[in-house]
């Protein structure tokens, strides 16, 4: 990157390090941190959407829908998340190819599962065999986002389901007394009020999501864990201009520090948010206490 | 080959007994159920070792974090922050490479590079940090009345802690601690997917499940089997912890005993 990096063998000390840390592979490594942050930025709202859908389904009066929602929450919480990551990547990929196969190649007569192979017609391949590399990368990233959203959606669903049940019943009854339809009660009273109760659980889910991002590595994406293993492994002079021993412990040490910084910053931000919303919460609690005291007065001395 | 033969061959494959070679083609359902079940031995081992040893360290860390003396408080806070603030996945990777370089300097520490010792150590420290945060929260929630009553009876120091503070702390913390136990067992599946190698293909349940998924290119059989095992394990943990909870609260009237595990503190990794 720098002009003096032309002949690394003559370099010493800091100059060597500055050249070493700006090789093309290292720049890809730094870019991978951006991938992690991008994944978080896309996944968090997606997981929230899945969570909202799951919570609404679990509350539904229609029994099968409610079973579906509750089952979704229970299964994802009952099984190790890493198993889901390994499962969904293949399952989603095969599911999409199967659907495309059914739609695009209706006159294909051979079975799709042939022993240990999964065969679809070439037009149904996803992405297409002749697609550019970036299409493959994008598709892999998209699969990762959907997988993360499904798994963390279940955690968010659990939190939101609890929060919806925590909204005081009297609030909803008042809305009903004003003649609101169930749909209006849900949209105007329940949803705006539940966030106060959901926030601690949601910030918890955010921390969990943040700490699950290294699992991208298992989904076959060239993320920070991939590069740390690749760059840290010992290099001989035959293959690189910058030979060094096994430095993986330092690379993973750096990743550890990166995650500690992320959780520390998130912790500070979430504490502030909870502090601000906490005021509202305290006001509600005070109002409820006053209402309770009035009720006790009305009932007279016991 | 009948299913019983398969069970005899592979039931203890994960710890090195029975048939050496894994099945390579014509995978039967029986083989998958047996081998994935065999892998569960590792998950149980890691989980039990970490949970039982972590419980002791967690109590010490929680008391340390609540201490007024900074010499106790600062180190406890640091351990809890490092292990709760970073992903377990990265911790296991980091620990494995650290143990590798330590092995070069001190050959006596070579055992730490194998999963049974090294990964168990990381999981032990990790669960200790998470449990310590739960216990610390419970410690601060111990009603002052209990403490004052202990003072009135003339209990001090260790006796007061053992007879009054600690039992109340456990009672308060138990529902969250049940959750921590469940997620610790889930976390044991990370071991063979991070640095630690599965020597001679002796891996845990997820290792065998992904082996079958890779070979058959069909995730719809091995992963549901794995899920089934873990749901059974989760139910077993809830049952055992529920018995302990009932014993902790045996002096209370029946109606107040119910404490269902809640997802309150941050317990996932």
Q: Are A148 and A39 in contact (CB under 8 A)?
A: yes
Among B217, B230, B264, the residue with its CB nearest the CB of A116 is B217
DSSP classification of residue A235: B
pLDDT of residue A1: 62
Task: Give yes or no for B216 touching A (CB within 8 A).
Answer: yes
Whether residue A290 has pLDDT greater than 70: no
User: Nearest-CA distance from A288 to chain B in Å?
Assistant: 23
Q: What is the pLDDT of residues A258-278, one digit of tens each?
A: 999 999 999 999 989 888 876
Which residues of chain A have a CB within 8 Å of the CB of B84?
A: 263
pLDDT of residue B31: 87
User: Nearest-CA distance from B129 to chain A in Å?
Assistant: 14
Enter the tokens of residue B25: 């083609």
pLDDT of residue A277: 76
Q: What is the mean pLDDT of residues A39-68?
A: 92
Q: Are A208 and A155 in contact (CB under 8 A)?
A: yes
Q: Are A83 and B206 in contact (CB under 8 A)?
A: yes
Q: How far apart are CA A93 and CA A140, in angstroms?
A: 9
Which residues of chain A have a CB within 8 Å of the CB of B192?
A: none
Which residues of chain A have a CB within 8 Å of the CB of B189?
A: 80, 82-83
User: Nearest-CA distance from B43 to chain A in Å?
Assistant: 11
Structure-model confidence comparison of residues A219 and A302, the more confident one: A219
Is B48 exposed, middle or buried (CB count within 10 Å of its CB: 0-12, 13-18, 19+)?
Answer: middle
pLDDT of residue B76: 95
pLDDT over 70 percentage in chain A: 88
pLDDT of residue A50: 94
Which residues of chain A have a CB within 8 Å of the CB of B204?
A: none
Q: Are A43 and A149 in contact (CB under 8 A)?
A: yes
Q: Is the dihedral of CA A187, A192, A198, A199 positive or negative?
A: positive
Alpha-carbon Rg for chain A, nearest whole angstrom, is 26
User: Nearest-CA distance from B159 to chain A in Å?
Assistant: 36
Among A82, A117, A252, the residue with its CB nearest the CB of B193 is A82
Q: How far apart are CA A301 and CA B212, in angstroms?
A: 71
Which residues of chain A have a CB within 8 Å of the CB of B215?
A: 116
Task: Give yes or no for B269 touching A (CB within 8 A).
Answer: yes
Q: What is the pLDDT of residues A204-238, one digit of tens each?
A: 889 888 988 888 888 777 888 888 888 888 877 77
Whether residue A302 has pLDDT greater than 70: no
Among B209, B217, B266, the residue with its CB nearest the CB of A118 is B217
CB within 8 Å: B219 and A248: no
- Using the structure block, give the residue that is written with the tokens 């840290």: A232
pLDDT of residue A27: 87
pLDDT category at A255 given cuts 50, 70, 90 is very high
Task: Give yes or no for B156 touching A (CB within 8 A).
Answer: no
* CATH placement of domain A3-299: 1.10.3720.10
- Using the structure block, give the residue that is written with the tokens 């150590």: B121
CB within 8 Å: B100 and A86: no
For A117, phi then psi, to 5°, come to -115, 155
Which residues of chain B have a CB within 8 Å of the CB of A113?
A: 218
How confident is the prediction for chain A on average, in pLDDT?
A: 82
Among A82, A118, A260, the residue with its CB nearest the CB of B190 is A82
B209 Cα distance to chain centroid: 20
pLDDT of residue B49: 96
Q: What is the mean pLDDT of residues A275-301?
A: 59
User: Nearest-CA distance from A16 to chain B in Å?
Assistant: 23
Among B101, B206, B209, the residue with its CB nearest the CB of A246 is B101
The pLDDT profile of chain B, 269 residues, written as one tens digit per residue, is 678 888 888 888 888 888 778 887 778 888 889 989 999 999 999 999 999 999 999 999 999 999 999 999 999 999 999 999 999 999 999 999 999 888 888 888 878 888 889 999 999 999 999 999 999 999 998 899 998 999 999 998 899 999 999 999 999 998 889 888 988 998 899 888 877 888 878 888 899 998 988 888 888 889 999 988 988 998 899 899 989 988 988 888 765 555 444 444 344 45
Q: How far apart are CA A223 and CA B219, in angstroms?
A: 24
Select from B6, B243, B218 the least CA-distant residue to A93: B218
Instruction: Give the range among A20-29, A95-104, A278-287, B225-234 with minimum mean pLDDT.
Output: A278-287
Q: How far apart are CA B5 and CA B31, in angstroms?
A: 10
CB within 8 Å: B94 and A252: yes
Among B90, B231, B265, the residue with its CB nearest the CB of A256 is B90
**Taking the CA of residue A113 as centre, how many other CA atoms within 13 Å lie in the half-sphere pointing to its CB?**
9
Domains of chain B: residue spans and CATH = 29-257 (1.10.3720.10)
């Amino acid at each position: 990157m720098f002009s003096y990096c032309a002949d690394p063998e003559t370099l010493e000390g800091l100059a060597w390090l500055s050249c070493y840390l700006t090789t093309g592979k290292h720049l890809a490594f730094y870019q991978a941190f951006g991938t992690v942050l991008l994944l978080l930025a896309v996944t968090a709202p997606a997981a929230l959407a899945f969570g909202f859908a799951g919570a609404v389904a679990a509350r539904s009066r229609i029994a099968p829908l409610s079973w579906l929602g509750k089952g979704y929450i229970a299964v994802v919480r009952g099984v190790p998340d890493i198993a889901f990551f390994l499962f969904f990547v293949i399952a989603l990929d095969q599911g999409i190819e199967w659907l495309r196969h059914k739609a695009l190649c209706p006159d294909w007569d051979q079975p799709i599962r042939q022993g240990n192979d999964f065969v679809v017609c070439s037009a149904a391949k996803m992405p297409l065999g002749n697609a550019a590399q970036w299409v493959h990368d994008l598709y892999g990233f998209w699969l990762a986002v959907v997988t993360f959203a499904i798994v963390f959606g279940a955690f968010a669903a659990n939190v939101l389901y609890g929060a919806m049940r925590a909204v005081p019943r009297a609030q909803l009854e008042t809305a009903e007394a004003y003649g609101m339809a169930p749909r209006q009660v849900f949209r105007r009273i329940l949803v705006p009020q539940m966030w106060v109760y959901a926030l601690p659980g949601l910030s918890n889910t955010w921390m969990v999501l943040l700490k699950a991002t290294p699992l991208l590595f298992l989904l076959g994406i060239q993320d920070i864990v991939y590069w740390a293993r690749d760059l840290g492994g010992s290099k001989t002079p035959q293959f690189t201009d910058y030979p060094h021993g096994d430095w993986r412990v330092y690379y993973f040490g750096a990743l550890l520090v990166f995650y500690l910084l992320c959780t520390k910053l998130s912790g500070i931000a979430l504490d502030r948010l909870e502090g601000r919303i906490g005021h509202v919460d305290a006001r509600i609690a005070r109002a409820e206490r006053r209402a309770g005291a009035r009720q006790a007065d009305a009932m007279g001395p016991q | 080959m009948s299913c019983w033969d398969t069970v005899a061959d592979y039931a203890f494959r994960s710890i090195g007994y029975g048939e050496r070679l894994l099945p390579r083609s014509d995978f039967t359902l029986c083989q998958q159920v047996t081998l994935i079940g065999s892998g569960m031995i590792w998950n149980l081992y890691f989980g039990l070792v970490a949970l039982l040893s972590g419980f002791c360290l967690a109590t010490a860390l929680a008391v340390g974090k609540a201490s007024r003396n900074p010499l106790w408080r600062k180190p406890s806070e640091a351990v809890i922050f490092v292990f709760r603030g970073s992903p377990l996945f990265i911790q296991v990777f980091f620990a494995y490479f650290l143990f590798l370089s330590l092995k070069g300097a001190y050959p006596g520490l070579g055992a730490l590079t194998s999963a049974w010792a090294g990964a168990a150590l990381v999981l032990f420290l990790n669960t200790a940090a998470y449990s310590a945060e739960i216990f610390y929260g419970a410690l601060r929630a111990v009603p002052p009345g209990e403490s004052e009553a202990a003072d009135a009876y003339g209990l001090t120091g260790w006796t007061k802690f053992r007879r009054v503070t600690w039992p109340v702390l456990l009672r308060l913390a138990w529902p969250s601690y049940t959750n921590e136990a469940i997620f610790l067992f889930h976390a044991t599946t990370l071991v063979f997917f991070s640095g630690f190698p599965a020597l001679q293909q002796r891996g845990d349940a997820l290792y065998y499940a992904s082996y079958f998924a890779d070979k058959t290119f069909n995730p719809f059989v091995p992963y549901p089997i794995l899920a089934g095992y873990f749901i059974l394990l989760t139910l077993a943990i809830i049952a055992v912890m529920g018995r302990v909870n009932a014993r902790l609260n045996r002096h209370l009237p029946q109606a107040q005993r119910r404490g269902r595990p809640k997802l309150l503190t941050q317990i996932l990794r």
